[in-house]
Amino acid sequence: MIKKRIHALVIATLALLACGTAYAAATGELTIGTTKAGATLTVDRIIKDGMALVSVDDAAKQPLLGLGIEDFTVSKGDTKGKVVSVQSIAEIEEVPLHIVMVLDNSSSMEQRHSVKALLAGVDKVLKIIRPIDDVQMVVFDQRNTVKMGGRTLKVKTFKSNNPDELRKFAAKTYRDGMTLNTALYEGILAGLDIIKSMPATDPRFMVVFSDGEDNDSAFKKEEVMKVAKEAGRFNTYVIDYLSGKGKDPFLSSFAAANRGQIWKADSAEKLVPIFESVASSLDYFYILSYVFIPPSVKQPVVMVFPEAALFDFDKAELKPEGKEQIKAYKEDVKSELSRADKIRITGHTDNIGTKDYNMKLSQRRADAVRDYLKSLGVQQNMEAIGEGMSRPIADNRTKEGRAKNRRVEVEVYGIEK
């Protein structure tokens, strides 16, 4: 029976809340936490009233992806709130990413025939860049020096939020600006000075690609680690393309100390897929939308139909088994439906495809459910709304999350009389 399944879901959710360890991060009276056992949640920024930027790390201090609304809690004092959507930064235009890319442009890249693969890998990162993002590249420069952070560094920097301009700079560097030596520590120090100038309330990332060990810096690795500690909170992702199978100890320590990860590339063929992983890791944060509903406001009774229960993929015609699901639901809650003041039917999609297409698809699906309920004799006031990809309840970065987001919700209002 539909009711029994709903009750089982509620009981399972309460059990999860009871057994999960909630590590909360508070801003004023607002407290946001996670029910994931062993996980640590950080409130990085309150974007506006009802919307927060958060990040979640697992017990190993690695980014935890794939979370949904059931994995978060929100409260103000003794008042519990409700998380209504979970999005990644890539899905909204309100929070910029700040990215520094330190790229080893030593001549050994040509000797290893790896320049083409590297540029293709860098392009994977640049494809996620939006107009609101802030990106700076740092490369080695034997001919000139710059003053940064009170140090004289053999580097060149380039800033843009235009992916084409960044591609051109990288291509020109690896065509005309190759160096004989590796000033890795100076490159990272320059990157850290840039990180310090970026807003600490926004997501800050450093991507480091190294083809060889440092052999030309005027500064030691201890200085790099000291400055990194002073820079505040940021994430580091390192691609180790040094010769040999093991990961470089310094690069490993630098990534581990700065909430990051290191990948070992033992061939040019590995560079593009590794940079793809880096690009995915940059979309690390969650945007939570939440509401606080006064206890006096009666909440609707909600039924959620997954897409697969009602429709074929990318279709808006009810399947025969979908009609059976709605018919069973109508019989289970016919008393509530008959007493309802209003019934709202809302269609939702994942984030694959354009906003306009998904909005129209979700509207057609909501219409199909409303029309079938009418054909079954439901006479109450019903409205059908398509919300497209605007209110995800799970992480669209995972296949499982996208499946949860493709749904139709039926909300029944005014049955408590």
| Alpha carbon 215 to its chain's center | 37
CATH topology of domain 301-413: 60s Ribosomal Protein L30; Chain: A; (3.30.1330)
Res 13: pLDDT: 33
pLDDT in tens, 218-269: 999 999 999 999 999 899 999 999 998 899 999 999 999 998 899 999 999 9
Q: What angle do CA 56, 84, 49 make, to 5 degrees?
A: 80
Using CA atoms, how far apart are residues 126 and 107, in angstroms rounded to an integer? 23
Please name the amino acid found at residue 16: L
Res 299: pLDDT: 87
Query: What distances in angstroms separate CA 330 from CA 305, 325, 373, 389, 410, one per listed residue?
Result: 13, 9, 8, 27, 11
- The number of beta carbons lying within 10 Å of the beta carbon of residue 94 is 12
Give yes or no for a contact between 345 and 384, defined as CB atoms under 8 angstroms apart.
yes
Q: Where are the domains of the chain?
A: 2-92+286-291, 98-282, 301-413
pLDDT confidence bin for 27, thresholds 50/70/90: low
Bridge-partner residues for 68, per DSSP? 394
| Parallel/antiparallel/unpaired status of strands 98-103 and 204-210 | parallel
pLDDT over threshold 70, residue 15: no
Using CA atoms, how far apart are residues 209 and 240, in angstroms rounded to an integer? 6
Q: Quick check: helix, strand or coil at residue 361?
A: helix
| Parallel/antiparallel/unpaired status of strands 134-140 and 98-103 | parallel
What is the average per-residue pLDDT within 153-182? Answer: 97
pLDDT confidence bin for 33, thresholds 50/70/90: very high
Please name the amino acid found at residue 59: A
pLDDT in tens, 310-356: 999 999 999 999 999 999 999 999 999 988 999 999 999 999 999 99
Architecture of domain 98-282 in this structure: 3-Layer(aba) Sandwich (3.40)
Res 12: pLDDT: 31
Res 16: pLDDT: 33
What is the average per-residue pLDDT within 172-190? Answer: 97
Res 279: pLDDT: 93
Res 11: pLDDT: 29
**Selected residue with higher pLDDT from 27 and 14:** 27
Two tokens, residue 7: 């009750």
Res 24: pLDDT: 52
pLDDT, mean over the chain: 91
- The number of beta carbons lying within 10 Å of the beta carbon of residue 315 is 14
Give yes or no for a contact between 285 and 89, defined as CB atoms under 8 angstroms apart.
yes
pLDDT in tens, 39-92: 999 998 899 999 999 999 898 877 888 999 999 999 998 899 999 999 998 888
